[in-house]
Amino acid sequence: MTKTVLLTGGLGFIGSHTYVALVEAGYRVIILDDLSNAKASVQTRLAQITQQNEVRFYQGSVLDRGLLDRIFKQEDVTAVIHFAAKKAVGESTTDPIGYFETNISGLLNLLQAMKAAEVWNLVFSSSATVYGDATKVPTPEDSPLSSTNPYGYTKLAGEQILNQAAMADPWVFGILRYFNPVGAHPSGLIGEDPQDIPNNLVPYIAKVATGELSALQVFGDDYPTRDGTGERDYVHVMDLARGHVLSLGALLANGTSHTVNLGTGRAYSVLEVADAYEKASGRAVPRIIKPRRAGDVAISQADVTRAGQLLNFEARFDIHDMCQSSWHWISTGAQDAASDEPSGQ
């Protein structure tokens, strides 16, 4: 019997790619999204990629308990993959209460609705931010946890909530700590589409390559790294999507919870990423060196040993693949052609 998965925030960057991976793996998938950081037209593109007549979609928030109860009553959900959350570190420092409401209250509301429906399987979108300023690089999952901003706090709190809840009820959780997701689907139909000046490196570089921004601002070139600029573990969004399918499969097969890093296990510097994007796009990416930013660390890199052992996960794509897929998405203009017209139930 085909299992039904609810994706909260399923029209967003990582959610939409995971939708494709789940459908290709044989799951029936339902999306819940409030369109606060996504476009309804992504439905059409998901239908095109997966060759489906319809993408099952409910427009609304995880804060709407009545809507969640209706979905669980109507759709015979087996498991949930929970993406719906605010995710910008900088914004979280100016709107901590908004982040607590969406990311923590939203998770609690979802768990209450799941418990009422006796749906006990959940894959949770966490983040490497829970390691704070990691003391060990590459960073394993048993490293000390901390938060340095409200966004990181909400992810850490979310993990703690799940771990405590599992002591009282038969929950099975897959907690996935992402490092730095980038890239796009090979079709060029879906990808990362920030509405303003991007907070993340690769979308920022993309806007420099298209001429929307004049130059890449490099914050610090005196770190103890290969070229003096900060190094990060970037993971292709298609690898990340596959990681969610593997996590869900493990939960359903084994009935055992897990917490794993999802990354490549390799860190690339700011200048290396800019060079790779220049090669992928054939466009210049001018750079301006700026002073270090407060709170930035020299290197952030995943230890992916546990993901390999528990999920048989290994990243298939490198930084060149990530930049090529990003440029394909940007250069097709699909994100500019997208409509903002809402639809759904």
Catalytic residues: 151
Whole-angstrom CA distances from 93 to 79, 96, 114, 321 are 32, 6, 30, 33
Q: In 3D, which of 98, 90, 106, 79 has the Cα closest to residue 9? A: 106
Does residue 138 have a cis peptide bond before it, meaning omega lies within 30 degrees of 0? yes
Taking alpha carbons only, the member of 17, 21, 20, 52 closest to residue 38 is 17
Residues 92, 270: Cα–Cα separation, whole Å: 24
Tokens for 230?
């900060």
319-332 vs 270-281: helix axis angle to the nearest 10? 50
Q: Which two tokens stand for residue 345?
A: 């139930």
DSSP 219: E
- Cα(241)–Cα(186) distance, rounded to whole angstroms? 13
List the structure tokens of 208. 């420099």
Helical spans, DSSP H, in 82-188: 89-94, 96-99, 106-117, 150-165
For 228, other C-beta atoms within 10 Å of its C-beta total 16
Tally Cβ neighbours within 10 Å of residue 255.
11
